Amino acid sequence: MPLILEQRSARDIIERKKHGVHRYHVASMPTLGVSTPVTLAAAVAMSAAEILGGMAICWCVDPGTDISGRMITLVADMRNGNSTTFGPAYTQLNNAVRQLFRERWGGHCMVEVFFSPTTRRPGLQAVFENLYGTSCRQRWERNSDIPYAGMGTLHNGGMGSPTQFMLDMEIRKAQWDDERSLRVDDESLNWDEVLETVTNNGNFLASEHTVRHCRDLWMSDFFRSDDAGAGGWDGSEKAILDVCEEKWRANLERWEPPAFPEDKRRGMDELIERAKKEFGLS
């Protein structure tokens, strides 16, 4: 229920104070139209009140501590009853709450660029949702440097897909390679190469300069020019996902576990066992 501090969060606050962990991150994850009013203005006011109220409780328990907030919106899909992170209302509610905190209370509230696709399957819909959420955030923030948000999650963050992760990373690599400035020096602006080739009515393909630098051009392993006749590459979604599948499985074959100290390994094992008992898995 909205505006209620439930027992799990209350225990977490008390345990943090008890063990000297003086940092509190208050998150609100309402569903528009279910745990908030369906209209955006009312939902923004209510969501901001929930985060601010949680911050006030943390301050009362542990004055002077490090406190921050976080807004994660879900939207009720009235066609099937699902909660989704997709659509313009998601971006508007998240960013309006963040803007309210920034303008009224000096900030201290974060939102994801985009939380997670709603779809459970890797592929075109997941990419579309990630790209849509990213572009909406870019428009809201008036910041074109905000990167593509995909990180391999699906189903509102409840599922991780290594296939989708490989696809998302390929898109992010393509963005990272898009430099804002160009290298300009004698090698990159080689006038002798230009004059010789043009004077001799030649082409640049077979020149030594091209051989030295042709691999500087980033080309995707997943998104290729249509080459169905020569190599069987048809550019279909299946072909792209097949390459993603091959890549992550090859990475898994090469993976070696990190060499954690024995005390840390024991601590992690104990934490896993506690979690299993708490969730009734042991």
pLDDT tens-digit map of 25-78: 999 999 998 999 999 999 999 999 999 999 999 999 999 999 999 999 999 888
Q: How far apart (Å, rounded) are the C-alpha atoms in residues 149 and 135?
A: 10
pTM equals 0.79
Average pLDDT, the chain: 90
pLDDT tens for each residue of 92-127: 999 999 999 999 999 999 998 888 999 999 999 999
pLDDT tens for each residue of 72-83: 999 988 888 888
Q: Are the C-beta atoms of 93 and 47 separated by less than 8 Å?
A: yes
Cβ neighbours of residue 220 closer than 8 Å, sequence gap 6 or more: 170, 173, 174
Residue in 75, 94, 138 with CA at minimum distance from that of residue 102? 94
